[in-house]
Amino acid sequence: MLPFKSLLTISKSASTPVFVQLSEQINQLIRAGTLSAGQRLPGTRQLADWLGVHRQTIVAAYDEGLAQGWLESRPGSGTYVAVHFSDVTPQALVSETANNLPNEKPGYAFAEMPFLKRPVLINQSGLRLDDGFPDIRLAPMDELSRAYRSYFRWGDPQKQFGYNDTKGHLLLREQLSIHLNETRGLRTTPDNVLITRGSIMGLHLVSQVLLQPGDIVVTGETTWAGATMNFLKAGATLLTVPVDQHGLDVEALADLCEQHGAIRMVFVTPHHHYPTTVTLRADRRIRLLQLAEQYGFAVLEDDYDYDFHYLSRPILPLASADPQGMVVYVGSLTKSVAPAFRVGYVVAPTGLIDELARLRRIIDRQGDPILEFAVGQLFKTGDLKRHFRKALRTYHARRDCFCDLLTKELPDAMQFTKPDGGMAVWARFDPAIDMNQLAERAGREGLFLSNGLSHNPPGQRLNATRLGFASSIESELEQSVAVLKKVLS
């Protein structure tokens, strides 16, 4: 008889019930070959005496093994290891110090994709000059909470809490269509709108539908890595063109079209180019649309911070001047409200929207109907538009404050152009400054900022980074610049 008293150990203080502990340990002994197929287990009274537990605990442990197929009961004889385990090769017990722990390294091979290895941005506590995040303290939390509660009192519960439209909640699509038509000069219906979990999901869906392996995608030399990661995942070949103080160099794009002909997509952030914040000049916008029609490529327009333009009225999107349906327009409420509200959208002709919705169905059956309804309600009541106006005034003042501080306190350390809009300053530091060391020193002083290395095109060293001002009040901006001045001295 095996020494069950030493093989089986229990902890009555553990959160796992004792009978489950025993059942799992018996299963492990079977897998390891310590208990062989057809072997008889001790009687329930005998094992209960050995382990100092109630007999019903052993009965429950055996019943668990019987239910899972590890054990079998023979009437009048007892409980045995199931005979079908005679065909199973025993598994050797693995030392906890081994290098191949299954919770760290799988037992099968898979191809890692180096372009996916990118640091995940997380909102930092304390002082921060981030990538250009909104101030969550301004978000209309009370209004959103009321809209959430109204969902539970509205309509048919069977419908409200069942499956919803793959394209997104109809109320939000209706209200968003109205909002985009009024503020951005678009000509949409709700059927032209797909609600996504942030703009990154929209970019992923569009990339998977429009791109085939080997297709050429053109971006600026500096661009958003989140977009290029999706293009590479779809198997696209990336080409780049310069970005200057007037945005994407569309004549360089025209040259690429002449050389390659079959360009499939051009990715742009024309309102405020990411990361440099410059606005694509009007003549270049017209030329870009002309090239799209001439060569038949799609223009993927990411309008990530349209609501925050300080110089004048926001520049209308490319999509507003697109008579041939060449532009796929992607946006989000993440920067307008808060990153936790994963509400983005894709606007395109219905033929593409329908196909995107079909693909979305096998990735994420639907979005969050409750959140989408609540946001739709905030559009309908005007609460969200009032929030946009308040945030615009606030961020405008913070931009001016921050730029004044940089000019006064750090005149020789960096160069920047006061951005016409957006939520960050593109700062180009003196070449003698090591950006990685700068970020590390600032971090030790309690200030988070990016080292900007992810913005460097291959083979180039821009020595620049984005310094977000929107998420900090004026006093926090003053402290942040003081820390920056200290670590640069």
pLDDT tens sequence across 159-200: 667 678 899 999 999 999 999 999 999 999 999 999 999 899
Q: What totals of helices (H) and strands (E) does the chain contain, helices first?
A: 16, 16
The angle, 0 to 180 degrees and rounded to 10, between the axes of the packed helices 350-361 and 199-210 is 100
CATH topology of domain 140-384: Aspartate Aminotransferase; domain 2 (3.40.640)
- The pLDDT of residue 473 is above 60: yes
Contact present, 25 and 10 (Cβ < 8 Å):
no
d(CA 363, CA 409): 49
Q: Which residue shows structure tokens 């590890």?
A: 70
pLDDT at 90 over 70: no
Could you give the residue range(s) of every CATH 1.10.10.10 domain in the chain?
Answer: 4-87
Compute the distance between CA of residue 331 and CA of residue 347 in angstroms, rounded to an integer. 8
CB 460 within 8 A of CB 444: no
Average pLDDT taken over every residue of the chain: 89
DSSP assignment of 235-294: TPEEEEE-EETTEE-HHHHHHHHHHH--EEEEEE--SS-TTT-PPPPHHHHHHHHHHHHH
pLDDT at position 304 is 85
Model's pTM, two decimal places?
A: 0.80
Q: How confident is the model at residue 5 (pLDDT cuts 50, 70, 90)?
A: confident
Tell me what pLDDT residue 242 has. Answer: 95
pLDDT digits (tens, 9 = 90+) for 107-139: 778 888 887 877 776 656 789 999 889 998 988
Taking a C-beta distance cutoff of 8 angstroms, is the pair 61, 43 a contact? no
Third-level CATH fold of 4-87: Arc Repressor Mutant, subunit A (1.10.10)
- Could you say which architecture CATH assigns to the domain 127-132+386-488? Alpha-Beta Complex (3.90)
Domain with CATH 3.90.1150.10 in the chain: 127-132+386-488
**Each residue's pLDDT tens digit, 296-350:** 999 999 998 888 888 877 788 999 999 899 999 999 988 777 777 788 999 999 9
Is pLDDT of 93 > 60? no
| Nearest alpha-carbon partner for 402 in 130, 125, 139, 137 | 130
102 torsion bin: left (phi>0), alpha (psi -120 to 50), beta (else): alpha
- Per-residue pLDDT tens over the stretch 338-355: 777 788 999 999 999 999
The more confident residue out of 115 and 87 is 115
Query: What SS3 state is found at 467?
Result: strand
Q: How confident is the model at residue 33 (pLDDT cuts 50, 70, 90)?
A: confident
Is residue 436 packed enough to be buried (19+ CB in 10 Å), middle (13-18) or exposed (0-12)? exposed
Report pLDDT for 121: 65
Contact of 106 with 98, CB cutoff 8 Å: no
Every domain range in the chain assigned CATH 3.40.640.10: 140-384
